[in-house]
Amino acid sequence: MRRMNCKTPNRAIRSSLERLIVGLTLVLLISADASAIPAFARKYRVSCQLCHNPAPTLNDFGETFAGNGFRFAADEEPRDTIDTGDASLELLSDIPLAVLFDAYLQGFIDGDVSRDFKTPYNVKILSGGTLFSSVSYYFYFFLFERGEVGGIEDAFIYFNDIGGAPLDVAVGQFQVSDPMFKRELRLEFEDYAVYRARIGDQPQDLTYDRGVSAVWDVANVTLTGTAVNGNGKGPANDNRQLDNDSPLDLFGHLNWSLRPELRLGLMGYYGQSDLEEAPPDSANNDLWMAGFDATLSFGGWEINGQYVHREDDHPTFTQGEPTAETDGGFAEVIYRFPNSRMYALALYNNVYCSEPLLNVRLGGPANTKRYQTITAGFGWMWRRNVRTLIEGGWDIEQESTRWTLGFSAAF
């Protein structure tokens, strides 16, 4: 006999509320602030663990896979293509796609106590794969970014082992800082502040820009040379030009792997900028940056460090203004517990400018002299592509606290 539902109205309402709360909690926990792309795992029918530890960070194999143009080997024959009868045409049988969905629950204490439901925070569509032998592509599109359509961030064509030499070239839009540390693959919600730092009215930083990047990899040394517009990923001007000043900005990085557990890097950047419709008394700005980065790994520990010195001679395009000197960097510690899905992390940011012109675009006040934060937390992998994050952060300058609860998923 079928049993009748004899719940009282109060019990039914309470049960519905419980289901609603559980559902909202799960939504709050689904976030993915990383560029893991399960389309590659589907293509090769392998675990995400092959390239990530944990996702979204890349292990050595993952770095090699990306460097091969998202292939196991640079000379690998294309997979998942259809027979068109035309030897000069290679078409994927299916367009590889992946989805990332970000949502967070955050609490803030800065004298008052507040909370913020970031539900959703970001929704991304990603795709990447082989166009033909030695030529690949990658991009992702923000369907939703902090309340609006975000558009394209990473988007490039990748040429691997040009002319049989260990030379790779990417053309398109990418992050200048990628040869040092990849922001999109970090485990923390808190960002690498020095990469986002802008001074005065200058558009240059070390995040997204449009241009070309060449990588020469020999033995344990990797050289990267990059030429970019120098004004970020903003829209074109009235003349449909994406570069609103003519000089190209140049970036170089040397990466030296002394041994498997120790990597050292040196970087340099030079650029110029001017106002598109400059008044007669304005001045062009020359800027340069120099710095170093390092990674030390042993046991379950990984320690990352970055330092950058920057100088802008006319940061607000004003004649006679003092040169703005900026020093900044971060220190990051990650511990992966042995035989466990759990890891711990900590991140310290410190960026200082000699003039009150600093803007790191991280939700804090602009036109300050210093941005300084400490962040620590734990993560746990539910599955290879699903993880929980609990993170607490202290803004030393603003004397405020931020707590973040998240859950990363890629599918």
Residue where the block lists tokens 């005065």: 200
Distance, CA of 190 to CA of 406 (rounded, Å): 12
For residue 372, give the 3-state DSSP assignment: strand
Question: What is the structure's pLDDT at 279?
Answer: 72
Contact 193, 181 (CB under 8 A): no
Would you tell me how many other CB atoms lie within 10 Å of the CB of residue 136? Answer: 23
Question: What is the structure's pLDDT at 37?
Answer: 62
Distance, CA of 32 to CA of 104 (rounded, Å): 10
Instruction: Tell me how far CA of residue 193 lies from CA of 9, 190, 362, in angstroms.
Output: 52, 8, 8
For residue 310, give the 3-state DSSP assignment: strand
Contact 104, 406 (CB under 8 A): yes
Picking from 35-39, 102-106, 335-339, which range would have the lowest pLDDT averaged per residue? Answer: 35-39
> Taking 90 as the threshold, does the pLDDT of residue 123 lie above it?
no
**pLDDT higher for 146 or 77?**
146
Question: What is the structure's pLDDT at 69?
Answer: 64
> Taking 90 as the threshold, does the pLDDT of residue 157 lie above it?
yes
Residues 6+ apart with CB under 8 A from 55: 34, 36, 48, 381, 384, 385, 387, 408, 410
CA-wise closest residue to 80 among 35, 29, 45, 121: 45
Q: What percent of the chain has pLDDT over 90?
A: 49
Residue where the block lists tokens 């896979």: 65
Residues 6+ apart with CB under 8 A from 91: 81, 82, 84
* DSSP letter for each residue of 61-103: HHHHHHHTTSSSSTTPPP-SEE--S-TT--EESS---EEEEEE
Both structure tokens of 230: 């120098």
Global pTM value: 0.82
> Taking 90 as the threshold, does the pLDDT of residue 269 lie above it?
yes
Question: What is the structure's pLDDT at 44?
Answer: 66
> Taking 50 as the threshold, does the pLDDT of residue 32 lie above it?
no
> Taking 50 as the threshold, does the pLDDT of residue 31 lie above it?
no
Cross-strand bridge partners of residue 241:
none
Helix, strand, coil shares of the chain as percentages rounded to 5?
Answer: 10, 50, 40
> Taking 60 as the threshold, does the pLDDT of residue 5 lie above it?
no
Model confidence pLDDT, tens digit, residues 214-260: 999 998 999 999 999 998 888 888 788 888 776 899 999 999 999 88
Contact 290, 261 (CB under 8 A): no
**pLDDT higher for 407 or 201?**
201
pLDDT band at 87 (very low <50, low <70, confident <90, very high): confident
Question: What is the structure's pLDDT at 2?
Answer: 35
Question: What is the structure's pLDDT at 52?
Answer: 60
Question: What is the structure's pLDDT at 105?
Answer: 92
Mean pLDDT, range 287-314, rounded to an integer: 97
* DSSP letter for each residue of 343-370: EEEEEEEEEEESSS-EE--SSS-SSBSE
Residue 390 class from Cβ within 10 Å (0-12 exposed, 13-18 middle, 19+ buried)? middle
CA-wise closest residue to 391 among 20, 31, 23: 31
> 107-118+158-405 architecture in CATH?
Beta Barrel (2.40)
Considering only CA atoms, give the Rg of the chain.
23
* DSSP letter for each residue of 178-209: TTT--GGG-SSSS--HHHH-EETT----SSEE
Residue where the block lists tokens 């900590």: 346
Mean pLDDT, range 112-130, rounded to an integer: 87
